[in-house]
Amino acid sequence: MRHGLSDDFDLHPGRILGPYELLVPVGSGGMAHVWAARHRGAGAVFALKMLMPHLAENAAFRDMFFDEARIASRIRHENVARTFELVDLDGILTLVMEWVDGSSMIRMLRPGAEDREDLARVALPVRHAVKIVAETCAGLHAAHELVGDDGRPLAVVHRDVSPHNVLLTRDGRVKVTDFGVAKAIGKSHMTIAGQVKGKLAYMSPEQLVGGGVDRRSDIFALGSVLYEATTGQRPFQGEHDPQVMAAIVMGNFPPPSEVARGFPPGLEQILLRTLSTEPDARYATALDLKHALEGWLATSGPPVGAPQISVLLQERCGPELDARMTGLSITQPAVVPPAPPSAASGPHPRVESGAAMELDRRTPVARAARSNGVSTVGAFLAVLVGVVLGLGVLLYVRNTRRERRAAADMALSDAAAMAVATTPTEAIDTPPPMLDGASGDLLDPPAPPPEAPRTVTLLVPAGARLFVDGRELPDGASSVPRPDAGVVAVLVTADGHEDAMVEVTPTSSEEIEVAMFVKAKPRPRSSAPRPDRDPDPPVAMPPNPYD
């Protein structure tokens, strides 16, 4: 027992916590319990997110809870579940949140099944899934654009976007929730170096390796969510976590069209861009991704809106929602007021915005951590060491991959240098106006140069195979799309030749001759090195643990 409460708070329907009466449990994660509760004064239903007692004794997790309240309480958007206040209810640190009468996206993907991650998903209708993710983009963009009291951007990143945190109401509206591990400027709690947060299968490569994380990391996670919702499986697979991490870092996943027969090509292109390993290759903002998805929806069929999503939710989760409604003892969804009333609730600390948060962090629960927190710290350090070791393996794999690619590029260095030497170096400036020498009249400007072709043809040996972003082009293909920006890396392989890597840019010529060296025929070698011909014995490469 801790402060009169057991490890699970002794929570049960009908228990009174401050001004709230617990109704039905909604869920329990690694950090908190979530219950539906009715405010006894106003009669409205709210969601109470209560920090677990063994975490409440840890100052770091309490600070994470404060940070979630600071960030979430500032966001005002129809696609984000509201956070009203942070209160201490009978010694339990609790977030009072908007009650969403509906279900999560993960429950729609596993209709009627128990809450287990290893269970198979049932893909949603493609256009319904696209509409849900597009609305999720709107909520995340509102969080990404959040500014502080001084008007400066807070650079909020959710960092835990997954089907578990996308909620759907009975009337078909979409709401993002759970900013528990969000990142923002001005947070009181800084992430411990090397600590990985969020759900592994949806993390971006830069989040896994501990690099700089910005809003484009959430966009990558949105791509994973959309892939899973439309195909019924996660994009990055593995028998254990290190294999999943390696697949994410290296960008190894099957295109959706290989998983779901008849997958729309236009939507596949959007997904592939969203799941790019390089942040610069993804959509710059969640709003840009929303526009791309809505553009595809507008040209692919009849409109999909809240009514269609509501019907799908009832088909997938109707019995579950009806059972919960019985537990709530209400006949229709409660209308949530602007904020829960506090007049009838008695004195308790509360928070309505990030600027107003003044709840005392040194409560008896926090002070008890000085005597009872040794085991918690030890367990936390053990998990941290495991994560660091896993990331070390991934970094080794990534560095090995880069070294191999650099070795392949060396063969083209001389040819590239010659090409640069023969390229005109004069700057292309706008020519000055030209005047007629006799009359002084302004002559017509010269005609603009013709637009560059949209494709670039690679001159390669017969039978060569081309790979772009790890995907093989059709047999006989020798042209690749010219990028509007950035660089497209093309791997060229041909029987009897060394592999070659070609970079196509917006300014590449219409045709590029690929220099491919003929492989030398193997000759027998004696087991002992010969100083006159073999000055350096061959060096054996260490095995790749993921091959």
pLDDT digits (tens, 9 = 90+) for 390-448: 666 566 556 655 665 555 455 445 444 444 444 444 444 444 445 454 444 555 555 55
Is residue 113 included in any domain, yes or no? yes
- Cβ(86)–Cβ(97) below 8 Å: no
Q: What's the pLDDT score for residue 3?
A: 35
Q: What's the pLDDT score for residue 438?
A: 47
- Cβ(164)–Cβ(180) below 8 Å: no
**Does residue 279 surpass a pLDDT of 90?**
yes
Is residue 222 included in any domain, yes or no? yes
Q: What's the pLDDT score for residue 334?
A: 43
Q: Both 151 and 234 in a single domain?
A: yes
Mean pLDDT of 55-75: 81
Q: Both 302 and 345 in a single domain?
A: no
CA 84: distance to chain centroid? 26
Angle at 260 between CA 257 and CA 262, to 5 degrees: 70
Q: Of all residues in the chain, what percent carry a pLDDT higher than 90?
A: 36
Active-site pick, 8, 88, 150, 160: 160
Q: Both 78 and 112 in a single domain?
A: no
**Does residue 182 surpass a pLDDT of 70?**
no
Q: Both 49 and 112 in a single domain?
A: no
Q: Both 253 and 136 in a single domain?
A: yes
DSSP codes, 16-73: EETTEEEEEEEEE-SSEEEEEEEETTT--EEEEEEE-HHHHTSHHHHHHHHHHHHHHH
**Does residue 222 surpass a pLDDT of 70?**
yes
Q: What's the pLDDT score for residue 2?
A: 36
Q: What's the pLDDT score for residue 412?
A: 44
Q: What's the pLDDT score for residue 384?
A: 63
Mean pLDDT of 296-315: 95
Q: Is 160 a catalytic residue?
A: yes
Q: Is the backbone of residue 496 left (phi > 0), alpha (psi -120 to 50) or beta?
A: left
pLDDT, tens only, 484-528? 776 777 878 888 877 777 778 888 888 888 877 777 665 555 545
Is residue 344 included in any domain, yes or no? yes
Q: What's the pLDDT score for residue 212?
A: 82
- Identify the DSSP state of 79: T
**Does residue 180 surpass a pLDDT of 60?**
yes
Q: Both 142 and 201 in a single domain?
A: yes
Q: Considering only 82-91, 173-182, 371-380, which range has the smallest mean pLDDT?
A: 371-380
In order of 18, 67, 81, 93, 161, the CA distances from 123 in angstroms are 42, 34, 25, 37, 18
Q: How confident is the model at residue 280 (pLDDT cuts 50, 70, 90)?
A: very high
Is residue 532 included in any domain, yes or no? no
Question: Which carries the bigger pLDDT value, residue 328 or residue 366?
Answer: 328
Is residue 472 included in any domain, yes or no? no
Q: How confident is the model at residue 116 (pLDDT cuts 50, 70, 90)?
A: low
Residues 6+ apart with CB under 8 A from 178: 68, 160, 164, 165
* Domain boundaries, position 140: 102-327
- The helix (H) or strand (E) run that includes residue 326 is helix 306-328
Output the domain CATH number for residue 64.
Answer: 3.30.200.20
Pairing of strands 471-472, 174-176: unpaired
Q: Both 318 and 182 in a single domain?
A: yes
Q: Considering only 28-32, 49-53, 439-443, which range has the smallest mean pLDDT?
A: 439-443
Task: Taking each helix axis as running N to C, give the angle between helix 286-300 and helix 265-274, from 0 to 180 degrees, rounded to the nearest 10.
Answer: 170
Q: Both 258 and 113 in a single domain?
A: yes
Q: Is the pTM of this model over 0.75?
A: no
**Does residue 536 surpass a pLDDT of 60?**
no
Token pair in block for residue 182 = 């969000």
Q: Both 362 and 339 in a single domain?
A: yes
Mean pLDDT comparison of 56-60, 367-371, 380-384, highest-scoring range: 56-60
Q: Name the phi and psi angles at 46, rounded to 5.
A: -130, 165
Q: Both 255 and 110 in a single domain?
A: yes
Q: Both 69 and 116 in a single domain?
A: no
Q: Both 6 and 77 in a single domain?
A: yes
**Does residue 469 surpass a pLDDT of 90?**
no
What's the domain count of the chain?
Answer: 3
**Does residue 361 surpass a pLDDT of 50?**
no
Question: Which carries the bigger pLDDT value, residue 533 or residue 57?
Answer: 57
Is residue 184 included in any domain, yes or no? yes
